[in-house]
Amino acid sequence: MPEPFKNLFNPTMIAQMGAHLARRSDRFDGGAFTQSATEGLEALELKQRSNHILAALEAALPVDFIAASNLLVSALHPADDVDLSDQSMDEHGIRGWAVMPMADYIARHGLDHFDFSMDVLREMTKRMSSEFAVRPFLDRDPERAMKHVRKWARDDNYHVRRLASEGTRPRLPWGMRLAKFVADPAPVLPVLETLKDDPEDYVRRSVANNLNDIAKDHPDLVAALAGKWLAGKPDSRRKKLVRHACRTLIKQGHEATLKAFGYVEPQVSLTSLSLDRTKVHFGHDLRLSAQLLSETNSDQELVVDYVVHHRKANGQTSPKVFKWKTVKLPGRAETRLEKTHSFKPITTRTYYGGVHRIEIQINGLGFGGAEFDLIV
């Protein structure tokens, strides 16, 4: 059984963290910090553990914010360009998950030292992303914060460049929602433009995720940007970024987005759709197969998805689009597709028994479906 994620914050890590800070300042009581930060730790979950360590830091650090921040920075690991998938701490300094409560300290106490704090978060993000801690600054004064972000987008360090994108995501999961950027993402777009061809896939994935956030509130804007970025002869890395950015819009069958990718109204017929059973017991699978026939002499690029219309508690249904396959269908040709869909328990959905419906979607358009009973 894998180690619980919360155990990334553990007594060994806390003791190392305290020792590094005490080594840089005789005013920091590493023993008292370690005792306070580890007391009651076992009963806490991941974010609670980080906040618990933050409280111990607040008690142990100098009262003066500038002095406290300089101490935290001085204890950071000297290597600032490593792959953060290796987040182990060693004798040289603090990096990895231990930086999270340190960055939160800056977010909680540094808003009145705005520019200084933004520079500190830039240093911290090289050892563990400051994407959550930077958000209160973006919320407090977006224009001032974005002056830093625009510089970060051109930084030599790829972790800092990623922070420029990841930190400005309007709807970053588990992070403070940036309501101003949800309403108007215009300040973020020049940053994404700068980073769209970044040499690091790590950075480009963040750009794609930022655009996917924006697409939830401004789909036409993202579709237009996709068309612009796909114009000419973009390389495979650009194409991958734009496709990932538009993944939600493509699943939704957003017409302008599909056109940006060259997907037009399909000239096909669904000659058959079959389910391997009409009653599916919860916890089991349903296998579906579909036969498509081209009705034109030309080749066609097809995005084939399927929609499950899940029954809700009130008896109505709610559609959920699932990816199936991208197909290049030759003129007048026929193709058969097969897929297995699981109805096993997941934490993000509550299943209710009753009639459900499977519908085939091609380039965003519905092409018929079939019903089945889910037995819960």
User: pLDDT tens for residues 13-28?
Assistant: 999 999 999 999 999 9
Stretch 175-194: mean pLDDT: 98
CATH number of 268-375: 2.60.40.10
Pairing of strands 300-311, 317-329: antiparallel
User: What per-residue confidence (pLDDT) applies to 196?
Assistant: 98
User: What per-residue confidence (pLDDT) applies to 346?
Assistant: 93
Cα angle at 148 between 94 and 243, to 5 degrees?
90
Q: Domain coordinates of the chain in residue numbers?
A: 5-260, 268-375
Give tens-digit pLDDT for 107-150. 999 999 999 999 999 999 999 999 999 999 999 999 999 999 99
Domain 5-260 has CATH 1.25.40.10: no
Cα angle at 84 between 26 and 201, to 5 degrees?
145
**Tokens for 250?**
């493509």
For residue 1, pLDDT beyond 70: no
User: What per-residue confidence (pLDDT) applies to 87?
Assistant: 66
User: What is the full DSSP assignment across 129-149?
Assistant: --TTTTHHHHHH-HHHHHHHH
Give tens-digit pLDDT for 260-318. 999 999 999 999 999 999 999 999 999 999 999 999 999 999 999 999 999 999 999 99
**Tokens for 206?**
């963040």
